[in-house]
Structure formats: C-alpha cells, structure tokens
Structure 1
Amino acid sequence: MKPARAPPNAASRELAVKFKVLKFLGKGSYGSVYLVQRLLDGQTYALKEMDVRSMNQAEKEDSINEIRLLASVQHPNVISYNEAFLDGNRLCIIMEYAPEGDLAKIIKKHQMMKRPIPEDFIWRSWIQIVIGLQALHGMRILHRDVKPGNVMLFEHGVAKIGDLGIAKLLTKSTAAKTQIGTPHYMPPEIWRNRPYSFSSDTWALGCILYELAALSVPFEARSMSELRYKVLRGTYPPLPSGFSRDLQMMVKVCLDSNPDVRPSADRILAMPAVASRLHEMSPIGGSNAPPSTAGSALIDTIKVPRNFALIKGKLPPAQYSTNTPLSMQDMDTIDEEYEDEASMIGGGGG
C-alpha cells in the first residue's frame, strides 16, 4: 500500500506516535487539513495542522483561541474538539471528521445539475445550524464566519458548525469591532465599520438559507465596492417560486438591514415555521462526539507565551468518546478503504 503523504518530518514527531495520516484534505489560510486515523481506537478524525513559524503573535493567539472555544463547546451541532498538541514547529488540532463534506459541496452539486435542493433538506440542515449557533451564542461566542463551507455534514442528515478560527467571545457590555468574515455573508453594520454583535450571525443565517434555495448568494457582485453597495441597499432577487412562504419570510427577517430587528437564534427556533419542523426532526448526534456528560463550560483564557514551545502545558486535555483498541483486522479494513485515494494523492501535502 502506498500511504498518503504525511506532514513533514512525521517520523520523528508526536503525531506519528498517535495517528496514521490517511489523506490530505485541503489547505486553509493558517495551514493544512488531513484525514487521520487514531491508532488507539482506529477512529478517523480531521487534523488541522499549522506551522507556527509562519504565524505572528496575533495569529498564534487566534489559533489558541480556536482551540479554547472548540474545547469549551460540547454540542451535537458544533464540530467536536478531540485533542491539541504542539508537534515540533506545528500546532495540531484533532477534530471530528465530516465524511459527507460541507453545505458548499451540496450547493455546488445542485448548481451543476441545475436542480433545486429539496426544501425538507434545506430546513433540516438550516435548523441545525441555528441550534448550533444558539449553543455558541448562549456561551457568548460570536462565530463571525457562518457560511456553507463551514457547515459540516454527517450521516443521517446531521449538520454541524465548524471553524471557530475567527470566533470571538463577547462580554455582556461589549460588541465586536474588527471587520472580519467572508464578504458575501457580512451584514451592513460590518460594511459600515460599526460595532456588531450576535445578530451579525443571524444575517449570515439568512444568506445561507437564501443560497440553499436559490443556489446563488443573495448579493452577487463583481467587486467589493459593488458588493458593499448591494448589501447596504438591502435588495436581492426574489427566491424561486417553488419554495414555501415560510422559507421566503424567514430569509426576509434574517436579512433585515437593522441588526436590532433581526431575530436571535432563540427567537428563530420559537417561530411557528421553525418550531413545527423542529418537532418533526429526529434526535441528532455524532459517532465521534465526546461524552454527552462533558457538558459545555467556557475554558479559562489561555495566555499565549512569546516562547510558543511553552504552550504545551496550557492546552486543554484530550476528549475522546472511545479508547477501545482496534483489532488488526479492523486496521486492515481501514487501510484498504483508503488505499486507492491515498495512492492518487501521494504527491499532495502541506
């Protein structure tokens, strides 16, 4: 078997002792993401690996903030944290792996087929995003980058919010001020450089709901200045006629230009259009999620030392739902499952 290319110098690092790299999944602004298998239990996870040598102090603080927030939230609609460790010059975050991809993949697939996404699927996925945000907002966590690419999909129709890389903890008396996020999902108040709060995530919810129905973002533009103009004007093309009045009205209330009028996640879930559908949804959960008894409690701020090597003793403890060793037969089965893909991406990497 020809394995996927492991991260650099893996043979001499802690990563190789705990995990087997199965394949390279992609690259983001801060680093690379791999599919890995934990040797102790044989389960697959996502590894986000960042080279700390290429990061300034603020970026290091953002990455540690992501670990802190991920490790603080235990919820079936938020991607689970499993472990974080410093491996040489690379900061590694082990998280739940989403085998079904993300909502952006679903949108792209339907664009190519020129077929609308079924409304039942839209509601089921979107309501779970709202529930995940309700949990984050309940802990005073503002996500700031809610978009289809950050909504991960699992079997049985489960959807979970991922990527807390730019999330911010808000105190009761403060609002966020940094202009940050993905432009097509940013609300008017951010474009105006005004303080913003949890209702900015509600705006992004409206953008996602619109995009799932229309297969295009509500505010299409060829430049940032045109996008800013369209968002501030607040008008967007009507949704296709085949969708319910409930869905059209939900988009309208979430995309209200006035942040004070936009509904909170709590209010959205209490609205009849959502509450009736929520009642029909079956319970949700994830196979690799930490024990439900873990609960959600905000971990204390992790002070990032200038000498980043000292972060080792400050990272949150590992959280795994199982520590049952895997049999050799199961290991061989997983090897065979990824053999073809691994040989194809042998030249990929970080």
Structure 2
Amino acid sequence: MKKRRSALIQLAILTALGAAVALTLLLPQMSGLHRRPQPLELSVIIREQDSSFWTNTRMGMEQAAGELGAELRFLTLATANDGREQWELLQREIEQGADALVVAPADPAALEKSLGELDRDVPVVTLESPLEGADLSVVVPNAEMGASLAQAALEDWKGGTVLLLDTAPHCTAVAQRLAAAKDLLAGAGVETQVETVSVDSLASQLPELLRQLSPAQMMTFEPAATEAAASVKSLEGLSADLYGVGATAAVVAALDQGALSAVAAWSDYAAGYLAVDGAAKLARGERSEMKPPPFFLIRGEDIYEPDNQKLLFPVTS
C-alpha cells in the first residue's frame, strides 16, 4: 500500500514538472500573440516643395496608416518638380530601411529608367503618373480628364484662342491631360496656344502672357497651377475664363467665387488612402490591385450638391 502511494506521489511530481516545462516553452509563444506587430515605415515623396497642395491626400494617407499600423514619413522637394532631387530622396529612404515608398513622380521617364536599374525589394507605389516598373499606381484617367475639361470650355466658348498652360513639362499626368484637351479643342476647330511656364513664375508671367495673346479662355492641368492662375486672375482682374483641376481648399474657394469656370476634380483623400493601403499590403507580401479613381467635372453652381460636398470637403471618421 505504501509502495503504491509512493509511486502515485512520484507520478504526480513528474506530471507537475512536465506541465511546468511545457508551460515554459509555450509562454514566449503565447506572449507573442499579444505583442503588437512592428509598425511599417512608409515614405511618401511628392513632387512639390509645398505640401499644402496635398492636404486632402495626406488626410487619406494618415487615415489608412492609422488603420493598418503604419508610420508615414512625408517628404517634399527643395525645388518643385526636381527629378534628380526626388531620385536622391528615394534612394536615401530605401537605404534607411523604408518598408515601402509612395511617390508622385516629378520626372516619370527619368524615374522609370533609374528605378529599372535599381536592385530593390522595397515596393514602390506611384500617385498621379503611371510608372513602368512600379509595383502599383493610383492614377486618375488623365486623358479623359483633360478631354472633359476641354469639353466644358468648349461649351462656354464664343470665339478666340484658348491658352493651355504647361507648368510641369516632365510630368506624365500633366502632359496627358494637356494633350487630350488640345486634341479635343483642335477637333472642334478651336485655336490653342501652349505656353510652358513654371508655377512659381505664373504670378509674374501670366498677366503679360494674357496681354500678348488675348485668349478667350485659359486652362491649367495641375492643382498648384490652378491655384496660382486663379489667384492672379482675381488680383489682376483678368477677364479670360479659367478652367483647371484639383479639389484643394484654394481651388474650391476660387470656384465658389467665380474665378474658376469649372474644374475636373477627384478625391485626393481616396487616392491617398488607396496609395498607403496598397503600399502596406505590398510591404507585407499581400496582393494589391487598383482601379483608377474617378474624376468629376464641377462648376461653381454645383459645389454644394451632396455628392460634390463629400468630394470637396472630406472629413476623417
């Protein structure tokens, strides 16, 4: 009887020791279940030197980053549309360990070539302009947008030349919009004049251009240029009708005040959200596919339509 009791005691001790060993092995794995994954580090490199043009885009990015456990590093250029500087920033961010990059290309052709020669395993997502070699692009249908904007100008046209302002000659998005607008207007028998001018010099050069060319209408194809042209038109009291793109606060205000006749707008907020969502998924080895974000043609009287309010005045949840 005593031997049996002693055997039972020994068995109980061995069982307890075995359970303790098993628990010791399991504890690190169990604690890992409650440990938050390391946040992703995503670098965003735009082609502007002033990030205010990207406020709504950034709001969408930050919303996605918060939901997906990512940290954003938002970088601007010392000189707007400087492709070389942007490439140097991109290389630096890869070397410093960014998990993915979101880029609005300043010079898509040059960036495409350089990216193709770079040995990398860091996903690259582009905004605005499609890029061969990028892992994903969040791009509105630029040619359709340019044609739609030209159609709005054509509906208002009463004769005269239409001035097309090319403020980013190396940017694919701007080039596609301008070319489509020019083609549509030419097909309708409207004379156009293309002038290349930087956004920074619009304030000083636009009044003189208008005096020389006396256009009936003028068109811009990027938000920064639209803001600048609308400001010049209001300050100088210029009479040419202005058509542009974008949904920044300044663009919306100019549209509301009549400085802009119409804009082609898309949801910067949604584009920013989709870009970061795609970049995070790619960084984690997941598939990500993208449909082109839609755009909308909006005139001043349409600003406060319910659907347009959601587009022009985004709010975070």
TM over 0.5: no
Q: Which has the higher contact order (CA 8 A, sep 6+)?
A: 1
- Provide TM-score, normalisation by structure 1: 0.23
Q: TM-score, normalised by structure 2?
A: 0.24
Between Structure 1 and Structure 2, the one with more helix by share is 2
